[in-house]
Structure 1
């Protein structure tokens, strides 16, 4: 049950960050140096409107709370959170894959923007999950 709550919180936070993809404001990033995130230059859109985005990440320490890779896809005036992947923070480079079915209107093949976030959930003063942004990457991708 806790895993579902954490995943739901990550998805909600990704949705809340979606407006930032349109702004010049970037969430604060962690000043550790080892945490890193990238987005591959392409994504896919399936016939059933399933969107898949990929990239790589590296993080060192998840002892303060779980770490997730979230992504937001922007094409035209359409913006949506695309999945969330639980990160393994062992200092090694890992691949991430986020997938979501997005309809009404569906994304189309062509150019789009992705904002990916490496985010750690820690327990705040009120006992609620608080996000700590370890790395943020914005990138242009080609949807195929």
Structure 2
């Protein structure tokens, strides 16, 4: 019995489509996420530093939430700052991260590197089960001191 080439091709594509449909992860993230860092960070009169930028994200998977994390590196100082939970509606939003310099007084006016990340936290009940970085930006910034 002889099978035509088009039938074999059709069968192969059907099998591939079925495999793809049944092996896709149930909690897949939509990867239309972006985050950016502004080129300046500011130290306010009260000794608080502010990092900022923009982000855009889609609704995370049903068992997850998106948070924004920022970090500043200047010389030997590494300052990590949480910027809060993201609003994931597909629109552009500003983010701001604030931290006191009481424990890192070495941060000063001048060049630094800032990294921002959108992180998807997957929950298992009330506890986080995994953390995935879905977007990141790193930029050389100028720290401006307003004290």
TM over 0.5: yes
CA-CA distance at 1:136 after TM superposition = 1.2
Q: How does 1:1-144 map to 2 (within 5 A)?
A: 32-62=30-60, 63-106=62-105, 107-123=107-123, 128-129=127-128, 130-144=130-144
CA distance in 2, matches of 1:33, 1:66: 14
CA distance in 1, matches of 2:108, 2:98: 15
Q: Deviations over 1:25-81 (max 9, x none)?
A: xxxxx9854110100000101233211011000111133322111101100000011
Tell me how large the CA RMSD over aligned residues is: 2.0
CA-CA distance at 1:127 after TM superposition = 6.8
- How many residue pairs get aligned? The number is 114
The list of structure 1 runs, each at least 4 consecutive aligned residues, that deviate by more than 3 angstroms after superposition, is 30-33
Structure 2: where are the runs of 5+ without partners? 1-27
2:112–2:143 CA contact under 8 A, matched in 1 = yes
1:51–1:82 CA contact under 8 A, matched in 2 = no
SS of residue paired to 2:39: strand
TM-score by length of 1: 0.71
